[in-house]
Amino acid sequence: MPPSFLSIPLASRNLTSISTTVTKSTSQTSDCCSLARQDTFGLFDDITDTMWKRIRQRTQASSWYWDPKNPVNNVQDPGWWNSHNMIPNFACPHVEKLGGAGNEGTKFVCNPRRLVTEEKPSCLIYSVGCAGDFKFEDEIFKLHKKACEIHVFDPANWERKGDAENKNIHYHAWGFKSTYDEESKSVVWPKGRGGGFKTIPETLKELGHENRTIDIFKIDCEGCEWSTHKDWISVGFRQILVEMHGVPAPEGTPKARWYQKPMDIHNDYYKDYMDNGYALFNHDPNGELGLELSFIKLDKPFWETPSQEAW
């Protein structure tokens, strides 16, 4: 059996071995770093075009899977599959760990210090699932104060008094349900404790966010990621930070805790991330069956520009 992906040094696993050239002059940034700035919707302004082309080539040439020709290889062993697959293919040069010292609640964010800039004076964040832990949201507040509008969703009542006024953190006591799969639900269902559940389209409409850019979509919903993703994958979130629970299989997993229906984990799930322009920049195990994944959305020219070694 090949060595576990977890045995690969973290620096290699997250592709941070690619060095980047940082330029601080405004004129230099304007002249030399336009490709990265355009492809990331302004998230990077310090990566030279030459270096960005190298990053793009490596991203296009890389696969998320141990066996690219058969992504479901050994999917019946979820621990093995999680440790050998979802290999980051994008080298974010400015990854920061936010949300605490331990694994639970910790998220890896690409260049969070540029969520707010002179050109972009505000940001919008959705945080799904909190269980009373607001470390991630509080760290975003420390970085950008009230410039970041943060919306937290959880079907239990964990609201903190004064957050909306003092930190621009808004709590909504509901979880997410699917528009297309009414049978599969988060394992917290029906323990909503009065909060109830809404769909993503209903939420966007109710909050008036249908035409707004959401910079970060952080979701830990105890299994609903498998049955709701088609509702949110095309919204256009600039980054998706998702905790995966278990590993579905084509023949189904009737004894699994989080999702039981048959699913081809590539064609029915992760391919939708690819088709919507997402690259993977971080893989962080959370127990044997848990996996923290961080994706960044890259604009169409990044993917349409041919690479000599494109996968």
Residues 289/244/110/134 CA torsion (nearest 10 deg): -100
Taking a C-beta distance cutoff of 8 angstroms, is the pair 219, 128 a contact?
A: yes
Residue in 108, 107, 110 with CA at minimum distance from that of residue 94:
110
Q: CA angle, corner 291, sides to 286 and 297, nearest 5?
A: 135
The residues, any chain, with a CB within 8 Å of residue 110's CB and separated by 6 or more, are 43, 92, 94, 95, 239, 281, 294, 296
Q: Report the alpha-carbon distance of residue 223 to residue 189 in Å, rounded.
A: 10
Please give the chain's pLDDT, 311 residues, in tens: 444 444 444 444 455 444 444 444 444 445 689 999 999 999 999 999 999 999 999 999 999 999 999 999 999 999 999 999 999 999 999 999 998 766 567 899 999 999 999 999 999 999 999 889 999 999 999 999 999 999 999 988 899 999 999 999 999 999 999 999 877 766 665 554 456 889 999 999 999 999 999 999 999 988 899 999 999 999 999 999 999 999 998 998 888 888 888 999 999 999 999 999 999 999 999 887 889 999 999 999 999 977 654 43
Distance, CA of 32 to CA of 132 (rounded, Å):
44
Q: What domains are there in the chain, each with its CATH number?
A: 93-304 (3.40.50)
Backbone angles phi, psi at 56, to 5 degrees: -60, -45
| 200-207 vs 225-232: helix crossing angle, rounded to 10 | 50
